[in-house]
Amino acid sequence: MKYREEKDTMGWVRLAHDAYYGPQTQRAIENFPISGLVLPFSFIHSLALIKKYAAIVNSELGLLDPDKSDAIATASQEVMDGKFNDQFVVDVFQTGSGTSTNMNMNEVIAARANEILTGKRGGNLPVHPNDHVNKGQSSNDLIPSAIHISTLLSIRQRLIPALNLLHRELSNKAVEFHDVKKIGRTHLQDAVPMRLGQEFSGYARQVELGKERIESTEKRLCELTLGGTAVGTGLNTHPQFAPRVITLISAATKVKFKEAENRFEAQAAQDAAMETSGALKTVAVSLVKISNDIRWLASGPRCGIGEITIPSLQPGSSIMPGKVNPVIPESVIQVAAQIMGNDTTIMLGCQSGNFELNVMLPVIAYNLLESIGLLASAAGVFAEKCIRGISANRKRCTANIEKSLALATALVPHIGYDRAASIAKTAYRTGKTIREVALNEKVLPERLLNEILEKSADV
């Protein structure tokens, strides 16, 4: 980033785009020009949320002048509203505690608070980034708290509604396709008949269980380590600071956050983040299974399985006219691969808790929030652009049942396994159906044979 080496009377570097952030943030920009990736707005929003209520509580406790408190709270709210999104420029790959991002926030809020109070942006007076905006806090308890808040809010506001939509669309198809009989498949081979609706009911249940797994992490994510400051002992913070701030955050978000039962665990480890990532990965794996089944069931349209038809969204080939590809299932599979990769990164990050602090907090936050956002988007698009528009190829489903060699299974109770297997092998060798071979060999009276085979498909 280009900037002018010019300082104002307060010693702040005045950047070319007239930044609100100050010298500590500028040093972080200069020292960490690694990826160009920054923490997402959902995290910045949660960090500013803490700053807002920290200022209010510090004023109520008599530790912060009301005018400063009001200015900090107003500036924090403006950050939450997205007014200063372009001011949060510190690279994800920074100091492992997230101190650089915390100071980026402190400086932006202080600069704006001073502008509110004096009409002049920046500086350390009357509002100081550390003494006032960061009062009663440390990056070491603040960043883990922001990870929990942003993760839980993102899950509730984005992911759960998307999974509910996907579950609803799959459940609707389970009902719609209940009367469609088809051949089941195991080991990629024809198996006994089933209903297409039953197949889709399995997909719906996968999504439902995945949502429940994610929701089960909320109990741990609700714990905030706010008030632990440097190592969990609460040095330099008022004993009422954390419970009061958390009460206000809970009221504002309508989520019942609480103090961590053990701040030493909450600051030294990130097990709740790891657990959440694991639940996200489980849903991603489920979506791969469902997406691949949809791709195969819709394959063809003439030379594949072709038991369902999916919506045509775009030309599927730059060389083959009329070809249509399963673009949505393929995109969902790619999203799932990214989430699995993110989970590995989060795992490596979460095992980096050294003594009283985890030192990979920014990369944990980035990947966890990215996984939530990607999964929410993929689930929503999958539901709306693919599942909702699926139709059954009833003629193909019926024809596949009649052609299946697995129909010989229904004959086993009547003629024995070996005789039924022989009929299946003959049908395979001659290209005839099980019904045709059984009739030719007169293994059962025709009426009984037809009754047995029809019943086997009446699932």
* Enzyme catalytic residues: 187, 317
E strand intervals along 207-321: 223-224, 258-259, 308-309
CA distance 180 to 169: 17
DSSP 383-406: IIIIGGG-EE-HHHHHHHHHH-GG
120 HSE (CA, 13 A, CB side)? 11
The residue with tokens 């480890």 is: 269
CB 58 within 8 A of CB 64: yes
The candidate with the shortest Cα–Cα distance to 310, out of 331, 337, 286, is: 331
175 HSE (CA, 13 A, CB side)? 6
Q: Identify the three-state secondary structure at position 353.
A: strand
Q: Could you tell me which residues come within 8 angstroms of residue 131 by beta carbon, excluding any fewer than 6 positions away?
A: none
Q: Identify the three-state secondary structure at position 138.
A: coil
Fill in the DSSP letter of residue 187. Answer: T
CA distance 354 to 336: 30
For 126-132, which contacts have Cβ atoms below 8 Å and span 24 or more sequence positions? Answer: 126/67, 126/68, 127/68, 127/71, 127/72, 129/22, 129/24, 129/103, 130/106, 132/55, 132/64, 132/68, 132/72
CA distance 64 to 241: 12
Positive or negative: CA dihedral 338, 367, 261, 53: negative
